[in-house]
Amino acid sequence: MAIGGDAAAQLWNASSSGQLRMEPDAAREVAASYLRFAAMCDRWTEDAEVMRGVTGFGSLESAGQLQKGFSDKAGEAKKVLGEMATAARGMAEGYLQAAGVLAEVDQLNSDAMRAIAERA
């Protein structure tokens, strides 16, 4: 399973079955933190994609190998960051489910993305 996927699934199962209950305000606060983190991961994912295309290493064979190594590392970082963002969104949804306010996830996600964009 992807990074954090197990934890998000366990949280969702606990909240869906009633094993985990939270007060709505507390759930919103925790969910907002996870959604801000997910939005940051999305931005870092974009940065990693840019890094995949970095050039200027020179024409030697070793320079080409170095460039490929950096590109491969950036590609792996992009994958990991995507998994982390997905897991963070799943955690946010689990907490909102535990408080019975899952319908608010879209608004909280929009708020988190706007807050991250305003910092840039």
Question: Which tens digits make up the pLDDT trace of 31-75?
Answer: 999 999 999 999 999 999 999 998 999 999 999 999 999 999 999
Residues 7, 88: contact at Cβ < 8 Å? no
pLDDT of residue 5: 85
Pick the closest to residue 34 from 97, 111, 87 (CA basis). 87
pLDDT bin (cut points 50, 70, 90) of residue 1 is: low
Q: How many domains does the chain have?
A: 1
Question: What range does the domain containing 115 cover?
Answer: 5-119
Backbone angles phi, psi at 54, to 5 degrees: -65, 135
DSSP 23: -
List Cα–Cα distances, 4 to 56, 67, 88, 90, in angstroms: 36, 30, 8, 9
Q: Give dist(CA 34, CA 93) in Å, integer.
A: 9
Pick the closest to residue 23 from 89, 109, 92, 95 (CA basis). 95
Q: What is the mean pLDDT of residues 112-119?
A: 81
Number of residues in the chain: 120
pLDDT of residue 53: 92
Q: What is the mean pLDDT of residues 83-106?
A: 92
H or E, element range at 32: helix 24-52
Whose structure tokens read 């890094």?
Answer: 51
